[in-house]
């Protein structure tokens, strides 16, 4: 962010840690949300303020409305030749429009659930704490790095990291700590080779 000191647009008493990728304003870690963008097979991570995040989610609700309008018009035209099929298209169109309007209303009332920068930092500290509390017989951080290296070498950086994180998450969802999950994956990998 350069040599200047920036303040959060929403919380002027706080220092900003980054800029929103859409509006360009500076925000603190509580305001910047991590948004995974998937477009035409490409993936990117954007950092968005609450308003821009809400706007992107609202734009997604416009798609069912537009499709609903197309189905509605198609149904009206088709009803001339086949009343049952035309009526079905009109019902589908009306349902899509209603869904889009209701979903848009819900998003306007609340900020969509996306992880903030602060939440990511808390999770990172939590994992470091778990790694520090692991037994002396196996260094979990070292094991994690070995596993990560193995996965990255086999599947590439992005896919390897995602696969390892997904395996760890599968264990942690069932109440296993991060360090224990790393141990179990490492032990399972050892049995395979």
Give the pLDDT confidence of 19-60 residue by residue, as tens digits.
Answer: 999 999 998 888 888 887 776 777 778 888 988 888 887 777
pLDDT (0 to 100) of residue 113: 66
Domain assignment of residue 15, yes or no: no
Regarding whether 99 and 54 lie in a shared domain, the answer is: yes
CB 25 within 8 A of CB 2: no
Q: Which residues span the domain enclosing 70?
A: 50-109
CB 72 within 8 A of CB 89: yes
Q: Which residue has the higher pLDDT, 129 or 15?
A: 15
Task: State mean pLDDT over 141-157.
Answer: 82
Mean pLDDT (the chain) is 80
Report CA dihedral (34, 38, 43, 47) to the nearest 10 degrees: -20
Regarding whether 180 and 151 lie in a shared domain, the answer is: yes
Domain assignment of residue 6, yes or no: no
Radius of gyration of the chain (CA): 24
CA gap 20, 41 in Å, rounded:
23
Domain assignment of residue 114, yes or no: no
Regarding whether 134 and 89 lie in a shared domain, the answer is: no
Give the pLDDT confidence of 160-172 residue by residue, as tens digits.
Answer: 888 888 888 888 8
Long-range contacts of the stretch 99-102 (C-beta < 8 A, 24+):
99/64, 99/68, 100/61, 100/62, 100/63, 100/64, 100/65, 100/68, 101/61, 101/65
| Residues 81, 86, 92: CA angle, nearest 5 degrees | 165
Give the pLDDT confidence of 70-101 residue by residue, as tens digits.
Answer: 988 888 888 888 888 888 888 998 988 888 88
Domain assignment of residue 171, yes or no: yes
Domains contained in the chain, number: 2
- Last residue of a domain, which of 59, 80, 109? 109
* Span of 10-14, 23-27, 93-97, 146-150 with lowest mean pLDDT: 146-150
Structure tokens at 54: 């809400």
Domain assignment of residue 31, yes or no: no
Decide if pLDDT at 111 tops 60.
no
CA gap 78, 89 in Å, rounded:
8
Q: Which of 88, 57, 58 is nearest to 75 (CA)?
A: 88
CA gap 162, 25 in Å, rounded:
30
Answer yes or no: pTM beyond 0.85: no
């Amino acid at each position: 962010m350069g040599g200047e000191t920036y303040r959060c647009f929403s919380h002027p008493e706080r220092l900003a840690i980054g800029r929103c990728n859409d509006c360009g304003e500076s925000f603190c870690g509580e305001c910047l949300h991590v948004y995974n963008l998937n477009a035409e097979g490409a993936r990117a991570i954007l950092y968005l303020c609450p308003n821009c995040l809400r706007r992107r989610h609202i734009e997604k609700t416009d798609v069912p409305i537009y499709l609903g309008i197309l189905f509605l018009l198609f149904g009206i035209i088709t009803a001339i030749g086949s009343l049952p099929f035309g009526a079905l298209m009109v019902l589908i169109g009306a349902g899509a429009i209603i869904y889009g309007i209701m979903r848009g209303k819900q998003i306007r009332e609340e900020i969509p659930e996306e992880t903030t920068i602060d939440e990511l930092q808390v999770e990172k500290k939590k994992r470091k704490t778990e790694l520090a509390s692991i037994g002396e017989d196996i260094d979990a951080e070292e094991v994690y790095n070995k596993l990560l290296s193995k996965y990255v070498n086999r599947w590439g950086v992005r896919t390897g990291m995602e696969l390892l994180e997904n395996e760890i998450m599968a264990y942690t969802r069932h109440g296993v700590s991060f360090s224990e999950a790393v141990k179990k994956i490492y032990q399972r990998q050892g049995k395979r080779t």
